Amino acid sequence: MIPPKDRGRLRSHQGSSSGRDGRAPWDRGQPVRRSHAKTGPARTRRSGFTLLELLVVIAVITLLAALLLPILSNARRKAHRISCKNNLGQLGKAMQMYTGENGGRYPRLAVRPSMNSDYPGLRDAMITYIKDQRLLRCPAESGALYHLEGTSYEWNGVLNGQPQDGFLEQMMGSTRTPMIYDYESVHPDPGPGSYRGKNVVFCDGSVGE
């Protein structure tokens, strides 16, 4: 048996360790606090690229550029050719308006106004018949001829002063008689039977290359 004095001590010890209601914290449904001691150094989050990853990204970008540049360059050349042919088509219509107002005859124009000041250039003859002066410049031409001659396009001097549908056109056919064309071969050569990189508007108003 436990002596009375020891009984009181035992009760006080149990009450202090279990709580006021005499129950342990885990019996009362209270969470048990646990210590979270660090077992090692904290991990730092990695930011940025490693040198190897950066080199891989650069290599992929370089490869994509090498694949896309030829495609973009080809598309640009095609766009230039289409724009140039549109310019020539508009100039052909303007020339037909000119001949209609001048007795059905072609003008007398200098093929190279910078070398021949006796006759006006193509620009001078067309300036009143076109609304946009940008029609006089081929987008594929560097601009040197445009600034020197006033246009990127050459007039066929054989037609100077000739009547429309005259001897030359009857002999060659209006669909095959060149009227205005690129000064230089600034477009890709499409092959045999072409004008070797030049766009051409014929006397009938059709445009070829």
- pTM of the full structure: 0.68
Residue carrying the six token digits 């490869």: 63
Map residue 179 onto helix, strand or coil.
Answer: strand
CA distance 81 to 200: 11
In tens, the pLDDT along 18-47 reads 445 555 554 555 555 555 555 555 555 556
Tell me the average pLDDT across 62-87: 87
Q: Record the tokens describing residue 82, joined without a space.
A: 């289409």
Residue 134 near residue 146, CB atoms below 8 Å: no
Residue 62 near residue 107, CB atoms below 8 Å: no
Higher pLDDT, 100 or 36: 100
Q: Record the tokens describing residue 118, joined without a space.
A: 């006796």
Q: What is the DSSP letter of 32?
A: P
List the domain boundaries for the chain: 73-208
- Sequence-distant (≥ 6) Cβ neighbours of residue 112 within 8 angstroms: 149
What pLDDT was estimated at residue 156? 97
In tens, the pLDDT along 108-152 reads 999 999 999 999 999 999 999 998 999 999 999 999 999 999 999
- Sequence-distant (≥ 6) Cβ neighbours of residue 105 within 8 angstroms: 99, 161, 162, 163, 164
